[in-house]
Amino acid sequence: MISQPAGPAASRIGPAIRSRFIAVYPFARIDGEPRMLMLHRARGVFQGHWYMVTGTIEPGERAWRAAERELAEETGLIARALYSADFTDSFYNPADECIELVPAFLAVVDDDPPITLNHEADAFQWCDRAGVLALMPFAGHRRALADLWPTALDTPPAPWLRLLPKPAPGL
């Protein structure tokens, strides 16, 4: 028989699972061409890397509201339409011994929008698909883009995934 120390952490086998972050993939047409917004991180863990809009869910906040808020805070953009991206990113966080589940969202913004960066980023690029793939630091994000790009630009997302301008019926 294997014994474990007493206490809440001891009763768990493996890392904890938590969800406290969101990821937003903003899309627009720039000079008539489909593009996704990438931000160059000025600070933090991802300093020096290109990334989509990300952020922390505040206590009591719905994940999709956090996505809407973080998009505005980091870029000054307002989503014309916001959708569940129909996938959740995940990664192992060794510092906290946990698996982080990150709900992902697709934001459609106005064409050729002005960008106002906050302190988290020092540059931005509107990228075509190849450009985004070249800049994304994680393989999981590159795989997600394979689903997101056609959903965002080739055909409209399914209506039940729409969160803004108003929640879909029944959600």
Nearest to 137 by CA among 10, 39, 7, 29: 39
Across-strand partners of 136? Answer: none
Report, as an integer, the average pLDDT of 72-89.
95
Report, as an integer, the average pLDDT of 66-81.
97
The reported pTM is: 0.88
Q: How confident is the model at residue 13 (pLDDT cuts 50, 70, 90)?
A: confident
Query: Which range is least confidently modeled, 22-26, 144-148, 153-157?
Result: 153-157
Nearest to 79 by CA among 105, 107, 52, 116: 107
- For residue 12, what pLDDT is reported? 72
Report, as an integer, the average pLDDT of 84-98.
92
Name the CATH superfamily housing domain 16-155.
Nucleoside Triphosphate Pyrophosphohydrolase (3.90.79.10)
Separation between Cα atoms, residue 79 and residue 107, nearest integer Å: 5
Nearest to 21 by CA among 3, 44, 49: 44
